[in-house]
Amino acid sequence: MTVFVTGGAGFIGGNFIHYHLAQHPEDRVVCIDKLTYAGNLTTLSPVMDNPNFLFCKLDICDREGVFGLFEAEKPDTVINFAAESHVDRSIEDPGIFLQTNIIGTATMMDACRAFGNVRYHQVSTDEVYGDLPLDRPDLFFTEKTPIHTSSPYSSSKAGADLLVQAYHRTYGLPITISRCSNNYGPYQFPEKLIPLIIANCLNNQPLPVYGEGLNVRDWLYVEDHCKAIDLIVRKGRIGEVYNVGGHNEMRNIDIVKLIIHDLRKSEDLITFVADRKGHDLRYAIDPTKIHNELGWLPETKFQDGIKKTIAWYLENRNWWEEIISGEYQNYYQKMYANG
């Protein structure tokens, strides 16, 4: 089987490629990635020499390039991870989010249709459901929760998600969709909360916490997300949406303190900064459907996953130091200057 993985030089796509080649060594994996600021070829260096792996630098919005690659490689399955993924960047400049997340998704599905209705999986997000109130711990997102977005990022992901459902209903494209909660683990770009806090702790820099740090996220170790996607692609029902989440809700401030204590740093590093505009209060996934239908359950407990993640950032300083010393510095200065 030949699998196209878009966005494979990024955090989750990169972890997925490592997982897939280890679990299914008989498959051929072709990675399509534009190598934006978030793409990093070092993440893929362990598999670059694998004869069953091919890397292709390509924009998923480049119709001609995408159709050419389908013609040459004849994929059986496409898994679309490629996206602009950072909420704060979408608030600064939404345009590229609409382009990559919506037009890019349509382009990949058009190619799937043109080459014999290729099996397509969309990596969506729990952010399409908007948020839940902090004082209603009894409420969770199910697959039936209405789409109700807050940021340009989540709106662009919701647009893509709906388009995927439309291609199934209108053209019969064989699709599935996963909507996952917040991931953490190796190879996550240090603009996101957990790697940002680890990197700043290690450099004794202030730790920026938005608002009062009371917003709640439902954290899942990235490998558990990869397992869920692999299961859905192989055994999921065509046309269906599956929520993926770990029942592991935590307040941002508690995550920050946990990392501080693990690294034996001081809570004095915590700096409360201006809140994110439109900041979602709480995400919480109900994963009953994927559990009942496909037997999926998260395997990594947060206490273990966060230790593994911190150890990875300690052992792979080159990977993230190279990022934070480059162009990313300009972004960081702009975003956190008035903290």
Q: Point out which residues bind ligand TDX (CB under 6 A).
A: 85-87, 125, 127, 182, 192-193, 196, 208-210, 215, 217, 252, 276
| Contact partner, 34, from ligand TDX, ligand NAD, none, Cβ < 5-8 Å per class | ligand NAD
Least distance from C-beta 183 to ligand NAD, angstroms?
4
Alpha carbon distances (Å) from 194 to 154, 185, 200, 252, 309? 20, 9, 10, 9, 9
The string of DSSP codes covering 207-234 is EEEETTS--EEEEEEHHHHHHHHHHHHH
Least distance from C-beta 182 to ligand TDX, angstroms?
4
Minimal CB distance residue for ligand TDX = 125
281 in Cβ contact with 236 (< 8 Å): no
Helix (H, G, I), strand (E, B) or coil at 39: coil
**Pick 60 or 216: Cβ nearer ligand NAD:** 60
Residue among 143, 115, 114, 119 at smallest CA distance from 129: 143
| Contact partner, 208, from ligand NAD, ligand TDX, none, Cβ < 5-8 Å per class | ligand TDX
Strands 216-221 and 249-251, by their bridges, are antiparallel
**Pick 93 or 267: Cβ nearer ligand NAD:** 93
The string of DSSP codes covering 123-138 is EEEGGGG--B-TT-TT
**Pick 214 or 294: Cβ nearer ligand TDX:** 214
**Pick 100 or 248: Cβ nearer ligand NAD:** 100
| Contact partner, 82, from ligand NAD, ligand TDX, none, Cβ < 5-8 Å per class | ligand NAD
Tokens of 104: 């890019």
**Pick 191 or 230: Cβ nearer ligand TDX:** 191
DSSP class of 104: I
| Residue 337 CB neighbours (<10 A) | 7
Least distance from C-beta 264 to ligand NAD, angstroms?
27
The partner residues of 57 in beta bridges, in order of sequence, read 33
* Catalytic residue IDs: 126-127, 153
Least distance from C-beta 36 to ligand NAD, angstroms?
4
Q: Which residue blocks in 43-126 are alpha helix, DSSP H?
A: 63-73, 87-92, 95-97, 105-114
Least distance from C-beta 21 to ligand NAD, angstroms?
17
Helix (H, G, I), strand (E, B) or coil at 29: strand
Least distance from C-beta 216 to ligand NAD, angstroms?
14
| H-helix or E-strand spanning residue 17 | helix 11-23
| Contact partner, 210, from ligand TDX, ligand NAD, none, Cβ < 5-8 Å per class | ligand TDX
Contacts with ligand NAD by CB under 6 A lie at 6-7, 9-13, 32-36, 38-39, 59-61, 81-85, 100, 104, 123, 125, 157, 180, 182-183, 189
Minimal CB distance residue for ligand NAD = 10
**Pick 47 or 309: Cβ nearer ligand TDX:** 309
